[in-house]
Amino acid sequence: MNRSSCACCLLLALAVLAGCGGDGGTTDSDPTTSPRPASTEGSGAEKPKKGAWGVVFGAQSEDHGIILYDLSGHTLYAFGGDEGTTSTCYGACAKTWPPALTEGKAKADGEASPAEVGTTKRKDGTVQLTYAGHPLYTYAPERGAEVRGNGRQSFGGEWYAIRPDGEPL
């Protein structure tokens, strides 16, 4: 076999293997192994698709107890630097900590309390989810079932995951 044939065989094998991975984003029904809905790829900084965000979902995290997520599978955080329901996170801050936006009515599911879910209008006219009076964000570097943003100090304040009672993790 010549080098060209070997390279083609290798590429074909890689393509076949890539097609065999994953289950198309389905989740396991056991809350200890799948603490939240399937995560979507991407940084989270993109404009949300209609219905992609807008639901605060409280679910069991294997390491952290029950905390809040969005239905895209991202941990939801509050920022200690915010002033009440007014977001102070824009520019570079919002690229690292994308606001949890909604294009529809905010809802609660799982362990999240419907009475605590709300919205606030941002300076750019988008609508951001709130919980217990705190604007909500995701953490762009996170993938899958991660809670790496909790307790981080950045952009002038502390970031923390939220429990269904509105208290920080």
pLDDT tens per residue across span 104-152: 888 888 888 999 999 999 999 999 999 999 999 999 999 866 899 999 9
More confident residue, 169 or 91: 91
pLDDT at 4: 40
Give CA–CA dist 23/27, Å, rounded. 9
pTM over the 0.85 mark? no
Percentage of residues of the chain with pLDDT beyond 70: 64
pLDDT at 144: 66
Phi-psi region of 166 (alpha: psi -120 to 50; beta: other; left: phi over 0): left
Strand 134-135 with 127-131, pairing: antiparallel
Nearest to 168, CA basis, from 63, 56, 67: 67
Confidence of residue 103 (pLDDT cuts 50, 70, 90): confident
Q: Please give the structure tokens belonging to residue 95.
A: 């690229």
**Residue 137: strand pairing partners:** 77, 99
pLDDT at 63: 75
